Amino acid sequence: MAIRKIVIHPAEILEKSCKAVVSFDKKLGRILDDMYDTMIEFDGVGLAAPQIGLDARIAIVDIDDQNGTIEMINPRIIATSGEQTDPEGCLSFPGLYGEVTRPNFVKIEAFDRKGKKYSFEAEGFLARAIQHEIDHLDGILFTTKVSRYLEEDELKGVESE
């Protein structure tokens, strides 16, 4: 396991759609392990492959709840509903936070590290984190969805994704 360098905006890889993963091998497992260690090191709740310089549809989320670490390879959103507006941050935009409106519920399909397809449903903050990371895989940055940027005194308990 290794801590990877976080790619900071502006960087071209953060704004491009990533390539699908086709090989579910030990290298993929090492990348996922490194992503987890990197996310924890930088106190994040999610991390997408382009944030460590990789052009691959790989993302992880761990909001420290009963779901543990959610590894998403080639994820796609298949359903959303509701609405929530809350603060968001991003490891690729250190110190920048803004209010973002997203669906409150999300259902995804993805593959695990062994290539097994699964579906997963989430609500609230977990749904927000999952959507934020999948956006990264499509080259969509949270800054394009901010309705209002936040000052430091408005940020009690905001996590970076």
- Tell me which residues are annotated as active site: 133
Q: How many CB atoms lie within 10 A of CB 147?
A: 9
Which residue has tokens 């999952």? 130
Q: Is 76 helix (H, G, I), strand (E, B) or coil?
A: strand
What secondary structure letter does DSSP report for 152? G
- Total number of residues shown for the chain: 161
**Token pair for 151:** 């000052």
Query: Which residues are registered as beta bridge partners of 72?
Result: 59
Q: Where are the beta strands (DSSP E) in the chain?
A: 46-48, 58-61, 70-81, 84-89, 97-102, 105-111, 117-123, 146-149
